[in-house]
Amino acid sequence: MVQHEIAGCNVIPGCWTVQIVESCNVTYYRPFIHAEALMGIFELGSGRNLVTVTIAGKRPVAASETRSTESPSAGDHVRVSSIEASARDLQDLAVLWSIGEARATDVVGAACEALVAGLDSPALRILAACTRGEAEYDVPDLLPAALDELGLTFYPRDSEAGREAAVRALADQMLAGRLTPRELALRIHQRFGHQLPLAERLAELDDEYDILEYGDRTPAQIDAEVTAEARRLASGAGNDPIPRS
């Protein structure tokens, strides 16, 4: 009886449950989030690095507010580190999205995590409230505003600065353990070829992986060189690669 009459039945006849959830998001939840964001605008005024007040009374902060000259307590240090990490992740996801290396839904997920960590702005709230179906259409409009309000940088799609920032973001991902050295070199090579001076050495190292069986180098040696190059890029160094070993 349970299998035939209960399992899989719809909440409203003729509508899948997922349709009801999506409709609730579009017709109720998102207007609520939008109204809440507008309340923050009217209360505090608009502008760069906008700080808003949540309904719960918590005072969120923009990315630039996490830098203080005062000595923080242990709890404050953990919170500041979490906020800075969330801001960095949002910035990285934004730049990877701008070159097609991340999905719009990934950006929405990073916006949600940033809100949870304590970052806040009107556009960030609306961005975090996007559904999967809305993300592709809304992220291009909401992301620049959210980054601007948080004091972060928006890179236009396929801009030179955006491509270089994306290389550094991918290097960060490898150093964080989200990519292997081989995967980093491959993604850089596939995305930029040998056309981007900043990433030229990684593209060359991807070629070296392909000819390992014909040379005298080991995978571990190339991995080490990719890792060193990733550290150089993540540190913000310029276009001069580490000398070849």
Q: What is the pLDDT of residues 139-163, one digit of tens each?
A: 999 999 999 999 999 998 778 999 9
Count Cβ atoms below 10 Å from residue 97 Cβ, excluding itself: 23
pLDDT exceeds cutoff 80 at 5:
no
Tokens of residue 82, six digits: 């979490």
Mean pLDDT of 213-224: 93
100 in the Ramachandran plot: left (φ > 0), alpha (ψ -120 to 50) or beta? left
Per-chain mean pLDDT for the chain:
78
Residue scoring higher pLDDT (147 or 132): 147
Longest dimension (CA), the chain: 72
Q: How confident is the model at residue 81 (pLDDT cuts 50, 70, 90)?
A: confident
Lowest mean pLDDT among 45-59, 60-74, 116-130, 147-161: 45-59
| pLDDT, position 77 | 43
User: Whole-model pTM?
Assistant: 0.63
Check if the beta carbon of residue 121 is closer than 8 Å to that of residue 50.
yes
- Burial letters 154-177, b for 16+ CB under 10 A, else e: bbeeeeeebbbbbbbbbbbbbeee
Closest CA to 147 of 64, 67, 82, 80: 64
**Domain residue ranges in the chain:** 17-65+77-149, 160-234
Residue scoring higher pLDDT (168 or 28): 168
